[in-house]
Copies of this chain bind each other. A is one copy, B any other.
């Protein structure tokens, strides 16, 4: 991340034009031409990843100027006067136009995330190195010989001293060796031309579920996927409960760390088994997840996230050896944690933004990740605002009389039409409904609204009224013991007036977050070109229902898309493209974080958003 972009946030921007494509992009001053090009979706060749060592990313500056750096001197000597500069070193200070040479080789690319075309350039590389044997005239150490051979490939790497014993052995064997490099760390060296398989693994560590994706880095393809319940579940179902346990002492934090590591390593076992891969063939892990989960993964007390003013101990990306991280992959391999945007807009959301390209495309889009906490990101390549809204446990079935998780027997969808009630129950036809999960809750409420049984202010109509009107579903309106109105979905499964209130509160918080974020960005519903429902829960929400209950703004329903687990997809993209990773790691510096609890009129807005939208606006 360029220092300027970090420090000045979204400071003043200048335009860069790349020829011959004519692509333009506006970036903060101080951004390098290399990064700006990548930001614009324009690949500039480089093998060193923008470290100024390979000399391959030179461009010719036609307008504007860039200072000559020592790296320019080393690589471009006689071409400096013609305006050639290493794009990875040239910081943009004024409007700039530059020529980009055609790529020397046809890059390998794949479509990932939400329709994103990504060049396959994994952070993990394997290189066949010539190691000229020592003689009495060439006394370089084996270590130096290796560094020199890597430098010829344009790489300046860190050699962990723990690899020196292996280097000694490799040097005995001959003049060719295969080096495996992760980022700027040498992680393995083997004698001969041993182009081995290379795998990476991505993790999306959710409070409830952990998803592991094993990726074949050579083929650029997913080799196996597995998911498991977060092993911390016994210590509390949601983030708040998990934090509560963490606060009970250092042992509790260690306990939580051990629990999530057991889950992580269990999943590594599982994906390796499924794909016929050995743990040591996995050279890198990339992790996304909410900030609390990432804190616990590193054994860090998350209490400051729970208590006002709600700051995290770290939001920044972290890079550890696998041994230090406790991941059962190649011990010298690396574990990279995505950065978070804020204490409540975590690294998983950064994954969402990467996978959807939200911060890189011209279209204005709103992304909502619904859960106990609703994360909201709105913007386009010019500007992006993020916030987080405390939705409470309703979407996970908490505080709902017959609420339950999305497991067998849960009502996950409802259709009320022509006086009929049609239930979708997890497990399929023969399974008796046992309760209502989050997506079912949204569906039931939306259908009750559409059926005219639930008023704009959230009040369930009385049975008497409905009977008087001859409503065909009137018979399902009942009154519970305490005089509480309810709607009977199935035998023993009802939705109560209180449940509706809980849903209003949850969707009201998220709608308020969306409103505040859109206001901060200065856009209106009509400007939204797409609404993305992200997160595993998001995939199950019926777009029309989300619109009817007012969870999302009333855009035409075909603009609402469930995008699935984009957080995992973003992590996978970072495994397959070191440039995507660089962009990801810069995102927190670009995205404006709005603190919802800091908004003065939050309560007023929230109360306004408790009501459901008028039917004529959403039908």
Contact = CB atoms under 8 A, between A and B. Distances in A.
A593 B139 contact: yes
A78 to B, nearest CB: 16
A203 to B, nearest CB: 16
Contact of A168 (B67, B300, B318): B300
Contact of A141 (B253, B301, B303, B314): B314
A70 B70 contact: no
Given A135-B309, A144-B315, A167-B314, 11 more contacts: A134-B311, A136-B310, A136-B598, A140-B311, A141-B312, A141-B313, A161-B319, A161-B320, A164-B299, A168-B301, A172-B304
Contacts of A70: 67, 69, 91
A222 B536 CA distance: 62
A260 B298 CA distance: 33
A143 interface: yes
Question: Copies per complex?
Answer: 2
Interface in A279-323: 295, 298-304, 308-316, 318-320
Given A139-B343, A301-B169, A342-B139, A164 B134 contact: no
Interface in A248-298: 253, 295, 298
Nearest to A341: B139
A295 B171 CA distance: 15
29 contacts: A67-B73, A70-B91, A136-B309, A136-B595, A136-B597, A137-B598, A139-B309, A139-B311, A139-B342, A139-B343, A139-B593, A139-B595, A143-B314, A143-B315, A144-B315, A161-B318, A161-B325, A164-B300, A164-B313, A164-B314, A165-B298, A165-B301, A167-B314, A168-B300, A168-B302, A168-B304, A169-B301, A171-B304, A172-B304
B313 A143 contact: yes
Interface string A336-350: 000000110000000
Nearest to A143: B314
A165 B143 CA distance: 35
Contacts of A520: none
In this complex, the member of A73, A141, A342 whose beta carbon has the largest number of chain B beta carbons within 10 angstroms is: A141
Nearest to A343: B139
A69 B3 CA distance: 14
A417 interface: no
A529 interface: no
Contacts of A593: 139
A300 to B, nearest CB: 5
Interface in A113-138: 134-138
A267 B288 CA distance: 45
A519 interface: no
Contacts of A136: 308-310, 595, 597-598
A302 B134 CA distance: 15
Given A68-B67, A70-B69, A70-B91, A312 B161 contact: no
B314 A142 contact: yes
A167 B312 CA distance: 11
A526 interface: no
B143 A298 contact: no
Interface residues of A, number: 57
B165 A316 contact: no
A134 B415 CA distance: 49
Interface of A: 3, 67-70, 73-74, 91, 134-144, 161-162, 164-165, 167-169, 171-172, 253, 295, 298-304, 308-316, 318-320, 324-325, 342-343, 593, 595, 597-598
A134 B598 CA distance: 13
A316 B67 contact: no
Contact of A313 (B67, B168, B598): B168
Contacts of A298: 161, 164-165
Contact of A304 (B91, B142, B161): B142
B171 A313 contact: yes
A581 B67 CA distance: 32
A286 to B, nearest CB: 15
A468 B418 CA distance: 140
A398 to B, nearest CB: 27
B171 A141 contact: no
B313 A142 contact: yes
A134 B138 CA distance: 57
Contacts of A141: 311-316, 343
A315 B140 CA distance: 8
Contacts of A73: 67
A597 B139 CA distance: 12
A358 B2 CA distance: 43
Contacts of A139: 309-311, 342-343, 593, 595
A391 B168 CA distance: 26
Contact of A161 (B172, B310, B324): B324
Given A68-B67, A139-B343, A141-B315, A309 B164 contact: no
A167 B313 contact: yes
A134 B315 CA distance: 14
A494 B172 CA distance: 46
Nearest to A169: B301
A580 to B, nearest CB: 22
